[in-house]
C-alpha cells in the first residue's frame, strides 16, 4: 500500500541509518580511546574489574617507589659495610705485624689509628636520604629504639581490603663511638716502683653523654694478673648493670666499688690491686708493694674494657682500644672478634640488599602482568575496529542513500494523478 501519511520505507531506512550511526560512533570512540570498555555502560562487569585492578596497579607503583628507596638505602649500607670489612682486614694485618718484637710499633699504631678513622667515617657516612642502616639510636635503659626497619614490599587484595606486607630487618650498628680509651700498662717487673695500668673512661657530667639513670653501656673489665708469688689469674668484672647515678663523681664511685669488690673476691685482699679514678678520668689500677724489701714480680697485662652497643658505644666501639704498643696480645684477640662481627653485620646488609632487589624485580613483573590482564578485558582490537570502521562507513553511505530513495516515495504518488 502506498501512503502519503506513513512512509514505512523511510522509517525503516531512518532506523537503519541511526543504528549504523550509533555503531560508527562507538567504533570511532574505541579507536580514539583505544578502549572497548571505557565506562560502566560499555560492560559493567569488566569496567568494575578493570577499575579495581587499576587501583591495585597504582598501589604497586607506590610499592615500587618504596622498594627503590629501600634499594638505595641498602646499597649505600652495603658499600659502606664492605669498605669497613676491607679496612678491618688491613687493620688485622697491622695488629699481627705489631706482635713481633724489634719492629717500630709506634709506626704500626699510627697506621692502625688511621684505619680506625676510615672505619668510623664509613659507618657515619652510610646515609641515604637521611637514613643510615649502620647507625642505631638507643633508649636510656640501653635497648635499641630504632633498630627495626620496614620496607613496604607488596600489597595483597583480600576481598574488599588490601593488606600490605613488608621486608622487615634490623639495622646493623657499625659505629665506632666509645667512652673508653686505650689502656696503658707499665711493665716494670723487678722494680721497687708501684706498677700501674690505666684506661680512660669519659663519663662526662650529667646531661652530656648520659642522663641520670641511663645504662653506661659498659660490659666487662678483663685483665690478666700475675701475683708476686707467681699465681696467674684471669680477672673479669661485670659492669653491665651500672647506670649513670646523679653525677660523674657518684657514678665513678659506683664503678670503683664494683671493680674493687671483684678484685677482692677473685684475687684476695692481700694482692693490693686497687682501682681509682685520677683527675683526667683515667681508671687507674695499682699493684701495691706487699713486701717493701723485695722487688716486684707482679704484673698486669691484657687490660680491656668491653662494651655493649648503646648511645655511648657503637657496634665496633672496641676498635678505639686497639693498641699494639701497650696491649698487643689483647688487641689481636679484639680485632679477630671485631672482624667476625663486622663480617656478620655486612652479610645481613648484603642479604637484605639482595632481597629488596629481588622483590623490586618481582613487583615490576607483577605490575606488567596486571596491566596485561587489564588490557585483555578493556583494550580495543585496533585491527578489528579499523575494519569495522570502514564497513560502517559504507553502511552509513548506503543507509543515507536508502533514506533518500524512501523519502522520494510520496513524490512518486503524484504521477498517478497526472
In tens, the pLDDT along 302-323 reads 999 999 988 889 999 999 999 9
pTM of the model: 0.80
Q: What is the pLDDT of residue 298?
A: 76
For residue 209, give the nearest of 289, 119, 281 by alpha carbon. 281
User: In whole angstroms, what is the distance from residue 20 CA to residue 10 CA?
Assistant: 15
Flag the least confident range among 154-158, 223-227, 396-400: 396-400
In tens, the pLDDT along 17-73 reads 788 787 777 777 778 777 778 888 878 888 888 888 888 888 889 999 999 999 999
User: In whole angstroms, what is the distance from residue 322 CA to residue 334 CA?
Assistant: 7
Q: Is the distance from CB of 248 to CB of 203 less than 8 angstroms?
A: yes
Q: What is the pLDDT of residue 8?
A: 74
C-alpha cell of residue 129: 636520604
What are the angstrom distances between the C-alpha of 312 and each of 65, 146, 221, 318? 35, 16, 16, 12
CATH T-level topology, domain 48-174+345-370: f41 fragment of flagellin, N-terminal domain (1.20.1330)
The domain limits of the chain are 48-174+345-370, 180-313
In tens, the pLDDT along 126-150 reads 999 889 999 998 877 777 888 899 9
User: In whole angstroms, what is the distance from residue 64 CA to residue 357 CA?
Assistant: 11
Q: What angle do CA 377, 381, 385 make, to 5 degrees?
A: 130
Taking all residues of the chain, what is their mean pLDDT, rounded to a whole number? 86
Amino acid at each position: 500500500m502506498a501512503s502519503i501519511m506513513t512512509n514505512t520505507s523511510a522509517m525503516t531506512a531512518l532506523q537503519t541509518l541511526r543504528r549504523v550511526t550509533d555503531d560508527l560512533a562507538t567504533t570511532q570512540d574505541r579507536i580514539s580511546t583505544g578502549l572497548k570498555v571505557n565506562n560502566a555502560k560499555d560492560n559493567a562487569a569488566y569496567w568494575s574489574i578493570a577499575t579495581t585492578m587499576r587501583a591495585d596497579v597504582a598501589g604497586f607503583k607506590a610499592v615500587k617507589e618504596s622498594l627503590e628507596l629501600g634499594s638505595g638505602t641498602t646499597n649505600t649500607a652495603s658499600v659502606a659495610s664492605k669498605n669497613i670489612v676491607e679496612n678491618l682486614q688491613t687493620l688485622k694485618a697491622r695488629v699481627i705485624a705489631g706482635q713481633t718484637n724489634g719492629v717500630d710499633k709506634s709506626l704500626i699504631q699510627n697506621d692502625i689509628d688511621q684505619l680506625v678513622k676510615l672505619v668510623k667515617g664509613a659507618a657515619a657516612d652510610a646515609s641515604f636520604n637521611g637514613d643510615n642502616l649502620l647507625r642505631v639510636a638507643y633508649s636510656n635503659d640501653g635497648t635499641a629504639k630504632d633498630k627495626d626497619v620496614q620496607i613496604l614490599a607488596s600489597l595483597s587484595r583480600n576481598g574488599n581490603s588490601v593488606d600490605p606486607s613488608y621486608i622487615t630487618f634490623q639495622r646493623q650498628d657499625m659505629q665506632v663511638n666509645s667512652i673508653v680509651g686505650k689502656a696503658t700498662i707499665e711493665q716494670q717487673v723487678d722494680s721497687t716502683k708501684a706498677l700501674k695500668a690505666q684506661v680512660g673512661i669519659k663519663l662526662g657530667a650529667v646531661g652530656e653523654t648520659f642522663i641520670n639513670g641511663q645504662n653506661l653501656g659498659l660490659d666487662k673489665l678483663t685483665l690478666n694478673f700475675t701475683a708476686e708469688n707467681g699465681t696467674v689469674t684471669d680477672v673479669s668484672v661485670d659492669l653491665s648493670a651500672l647506670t649513670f647515678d646523679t653525677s660523674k663523681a657518684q657514678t665513678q664511685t659506683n664503678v670503683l666499688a664494683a671493680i674493687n669488690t671483684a678484685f677482692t673476691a677473685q684475687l684476695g685482699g692481700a694482692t693490693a690491686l686497687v682501682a681509682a679514678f685520677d683527675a683526667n678520668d683515667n681508671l687507674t689500677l695499682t699493684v701495691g708493694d706487699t713486701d717493701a724489701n723485695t722487688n716486684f714480680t707482679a704484673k698486669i697485662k691484657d687490660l680491656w674494657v668491653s662494651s655493649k652497643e648503646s648511645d655511648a658505644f657503637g657496634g665496633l666501639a672496641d676498635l678505639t682500644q686497639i693498641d699494639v704498643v701497650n696491649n698487643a696480645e689483647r688487641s689481636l684477640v679484639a680485632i679477630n672478634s671485631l672482624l667476625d662481627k663486622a663480617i656478620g653485620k655486612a652479610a645481613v646488609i648484603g642479604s637484605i640488599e639482595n632481597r629488596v632487589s629481588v622483590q623490586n624485580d618481582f613487583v615490576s613483573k607483577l605490575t606488567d602482568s596486571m596491566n596485561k590482564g587489564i588490557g585483555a578485558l578493556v583494550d580495543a582490537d585496533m585491527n578489528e575496529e579499523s575494519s569495522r570502521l570502514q564497513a560502517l562507513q559504507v553502511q552509513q553511505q548506503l543507509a543515507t542513500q536508502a533514506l533518500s530513495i524512501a523519502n522520494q516515495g510520496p513524490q512518486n504518488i503524484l504521477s498517478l494523478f497526472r
